[in-house]
A and B are shown apart, each in its own frame.
Chain A
Amino acid sequence: MSKPGKKPTTANPTIRLIGLGETGVKLVETLAMIAPEGVVAHSLDTDNRSLSRCHQSRTFLLGQAIPCGLGTGGDSALARAAVESDSDELAGIVDDADLVFIVAGMGGGTGTGAAPFLANLAKQAGALVVGVAATPFDCEGIQRCNQAIGGLRDLKQVADAVFHFPNQDVIQLADADLGLHRALDIANRHLCEAVLGVSRMLLEPGMLNVSFADLQSLLRDRHSLGAVVHVEATGDDRTDDAMEKLLSHPAIRGGETLKEAGSLLVNFSGAEVTMAEMNAVTSAIGDRASAARLVVGASGHGSGETLQLTVVIAHAGKLAESEQDDASLKTSPSSQASAPGYSDPFTSPRADSYLDLGSEPGSSNRGGFAYTPPAPTADALSPECRNDLIQEAAKEEPNRAKRRKIVQEMLPLEIVSKGRFENSEPTIHKGEDLDQPTYIRRGVILN
């Protein structure tokens, strides 16, 4: 399916960062501001509103004809149709890339439906493809979680590696009455660090250089579900401190992740990292991950006293599993499950089920939905989450109503671009984006 990796050159690898759907776009916008030079950021969505908030990245509206800028309302098949119709333009975006990050929140329509397709395009163009995916909170409901699981699996089947961060991990880590915004911020930070860590490692000049080739040999065609963990520490005990932070990172799951890792890439950066410090950290990690291949790198960059540690973790033995995925899809009772972009849902939205993706064929029989419903229903939610989601739904409602109408009447639709506010700082007031029309934020339907 994919061409072998491009021949190594002395120049820096070309890195494309592609955000899909609202979550992906949001993350890419943040990353574009802080990513090292040489990373080109793109925001792709079916929803004009999220693109209109982009100021740092190149935007592309998926599905000009349908859903014509109005989002998918959770329908991943619609997103899939949109990306397919745009495949020439999309191929142009990934054309020259060595490394493509595909960033998306799974569980909605756009990210879930579009990410696997785009990953496939990038793969075919010969790039190393790394997915970076968030998955929903448990309280978003089983259906949304199932849709996310399906999307994640589809993405994993085509991408070389997928770094996955379940939003639910934040809840398990922090206290329960954390606000939704704050929780997403924490999740987003972890997701951003994954991309940043890897791109810095590749692009910033180093003493012990981790090359693109190293990364390729670690990840290419493994279809692994892994994680990137980035921690920082200062002070006299910065190595101990960094290790402590690493081990308490949700993605490490108390060391489990390291134990299961097939290969590990550890990169140090900081103004004065000593050999002793590097030894201490690598052996501490090595002890907890005896079976893993370990690649170590170091770059002299970083600020002052801070030691920065980036650990790329790829799981073992996933090459075989991806075949198992295919098999389980074929034997699935669901009639649509073998169509790409549709998933075969699990019943339990527990975070663990993401880690077991594909390796537990039995569990896939528990579900038995013929299709993936678009959005969570309010009854499936725990009370504290319901309010947030209802508000969210209120925002989406006019959107969906409009879409239906347009499909019926087939009106030609002018698309309002982010035009006026394109190059200016977004107006965020107490977390609300005031550049968006007030009536939309208030959920008013014009009829």
Chain B
Amino acid sequence: MNGSQIIVGLEIGTSKVCVAVGEVSGGQAVNIIGLGQAKSRGVRKGEIIDVALAEEDVRNAIVEAEQVADVEIRSVFLGVTGSHIRGFNNTGVHPVVSADREITGDDIQDVIKNAKAINLPTDHSVVHVIRQHFRVDGQDGVLNPEGMLGAKIEVDVHVVSGRYNRLQNPIRLVNGLHLEVDDIASSALATSLAILGTEQKELGTLVIDLGAGVTEYAVYSAGVIKHTGVLAVGGDHVSNDLAYGLKVPLARAEQIKIEHGSALIDPGARDRKIDLSDDSLIPGRRVNLGHLQKIMSMRLQETFELIAKDIGQAGLIEYLRAGVVLSGGGARIPHITKLARDVFNLPVAIGRSSTVSGVKNALDEPEFATSVGLIKFGAFQAQAAPRRAGFGRVIRRQVAALFGR
């Protein structure tokens, strides 16, 4: 293929496995040429609990994507998530030793190396170290200190880490299907890559992906990633709460949620009943719409509140001048933007994969943002290491180029 390259993003989600195939030409432009999907049965809370089922589902999604895009998939960029993923900030410090105090490329390498020397629990390993800003002798917000004069150089980084074994599980599964993993990326970051434009990153935005098993979030401000987090709570919890509260089977609760769900309580619906008479299991059963909305809105509100609290503790709320962007299947819930607006007191929008082109539904459906974002992630990497298509896990990642400016 002359000058164009195939890059594949794979999200092994809790409700669906999604494979997005992208074509990158001319270095940057990403075009989505195919999408493969399968219902996911072996995943809970974003992590694989049944390898055999998950393997089958991933295989089916890959095969579908290959057919649609008419390519043979050999390697993928894999999204990782789960409650074990941690995001935190770290600072590296380095004294400038040269006699003339001019900061050199080596100094920059050294300070970054220092920032990477993180004291992680022994079973954790680093997923990303993303450069935020440099400081020279305490002066903030330096983008590139090379050539500046100074005695001390510091760098702030955002680190994403996870439990080694739990990161390995999906990698092993993919390898078991004779596919290579080009690299892994935090799903929260991949999603932001797909749906945030430069201006939103610059002004400050909170991205929330409302998945089935996990709710992931990331904060961008001044063009760099400031904060990431994963809550192991998602749409499955909503369904489970409804099953419990309305006393219906789980599958039925999921269906009721999609058909009648709402993030807000409509006072007019208080005493309305939904007829379940078509359900042979429960002949003539009716459930109370007011109860449904109450149960659902309490769960969703709590989820947003937990995120708001975390962002608030990180001192980032006032930096979110571009507001909140929602993605994931949960973004489809009626009135979800209104609920989020009430909790965060910020403008809220639903994210679209605006920064890429291609297959229409891949771009418009909020569920696909993670896989599409993984292609963008891959495209940056390919750009950084152009000669190594299908480069395997050992690639030296230039993440700064990616998540920074």
Q: Do A and B come from one complex?
A: yes
- Are B240 and A421 in contact, CB atoms less than 8 angstroms apart? yes
Q: In chain A between 253 and 269, which residues have their CB closer than 8 angstroms to a CB of chain B? A: none
Size of B's binding interface in residues, CB under 8 A: 31
Q: Spot the interface stretch: B58-66, B96-104, B229-237, B331-339.
A: B229-237
Cβ of A403 to closest chain B Cβ, rounded Å: 13
B254 to chain A: closest residue by CB: A420
Find out whether the CB atom of A437 lies under 8 angstroms from the CB atom of B250: no
Partner of A444, one of B83, B282, B288, B294: B294
In the bound assembly, the distance between CA atoms of A439 and B245 in angstroms comes to: 9
Residues on B with C-beta less than 8 A from A427 are: 45, 83, 231-233
Contacts A/B (CB < 8 Å), 29 sampled:
A414-B248, A416-B247, A416-B249, A420-B239, A420-B240, A421-B45, A421-B240, A423-B49, A424-B44, A424-B49, A425-B83, A427-B231, A429-B231, A434-B231, A437-B244, A437-B245, A438-B241, A438-B299, A438-B302, A439-B241, A439-B245, A439-B295, A439-B298, A439-B299, A440-B245, A444-B298, A446-B291, A446-B294, A446-B295
A414 to B244, CA, bound (A): 9
Bound state CA distance, A434 and B232, in angstroms?
A: 9
Q: Are A414 and B247 in contact (CB under 8 A)?
A: yes
Q: Are A446 and B249 interface neighbours, CB within 8 A?
A: no
Q: Which residue of B lies closest to A48 (CB)?
A: B244
| The 10 residue pairs across chains A and B that have the minimum distance between CB atoms | A437-B241, A424-B44, A427-B232, A438-B298, A423-B49, A438-B299, A416-B244, A416-B243, A446-B291, A438-B302
Interface centre among A423, A437, A444 (most CB of B within 10 A): A437
* Residues of the A chain whose Cβ atoms lie less than 8 Å from the Cβ of B282: 414
Please report which residues of chain B, range 232-274, place their CB below 8 angstroms from some CB of chain A when the two chains form the complex.
232-233, 236-237, 239-241, 243-245, 247-250
Per the CB 8 Å criterion, the residue count for chain A at the interface is: 20
Using CB atoms and an 8 Å cutoff, list the residues of chain B in contact with chain A.
44-45, 47, 49-50, 83, 231-233, 236-237, 239-241, 243-245, 247-250, 282, 288, 291, 294-295, 298-299, 301-302, 306
**Residue A86 lies at the interface, judged by CB distance under 8 Å to chain B:** no
Q: In the complex, what's the smallest C-beta–C-beta distance from A436 to chain B, in angstroms?
A: 8
Are A424 and B299 within 8 A (Cβ)?
no
Q: Which residues of A contact B247 (CB under 8 A)?
A: 413-414, 416
Which chain B positions have C-beta within 8 A of A435? 237, 240
Q: Report if A419-B240 is in contact (Cβ < 8 Å); known contacts: A425-B45, A429-B231.
A: yes
Report if A442 contacts B (CB, 8 A): yes
A437 touching B288 by the CB < 8 A rule? Answer: no
B47 touches A424 (CB 8 A): yes
Q: How far is the CA of A400 from the CA of B398 in the complex (A)?
A: 58
Give CA–CA (A7, B365) in the complex, Å. 66
A440 to B50, CA, bound (A): 30
Q: How far, in Å, is B99 (CB) from chain A's closest CB?
A: 50
Q: Is the CB of B44 within 8 A of A420?
A: yes
Minimum distance in angstroms from B43 CB to a CB of chain A: 9
Q: Given A414, A429, A437, which contacts B295 in the complex, CB threshold below 8 Å? A: A437
In the complex where A414-B282, A419-B250, A439-B295 touch, is A446 in contact with B288 (Cβ < 8 A)?
A: yes
Residues A437 and B299 in contact, CB atoms below 8 Å apart: yes
Residues of B within 8 A of A439 (CB): 241, 245, 294-295, 298-299
- Contact between A424 and B298 (Cβ–Cβ < 8 Å)? no
Chain B residue, CB-CB nearest to A435: B237
In this complex, the member of A420, A429, A434, A435 whose beta carbon has the largest number of chain B beta carbons within 10 angstroms is A420
Instruction: Give the distance to chain B from A234, nearest Cβ to Cβ, in Å.
Output: 20
Find out whether the CB atom of A416 lies under 8 angstroms from the CB atom of B250: yes
Contacts of A419 in B (CB 8 A): 240, 243, 250
Q: Are B298 and A442 in contact (CB-based, < 8 A)? A: yes
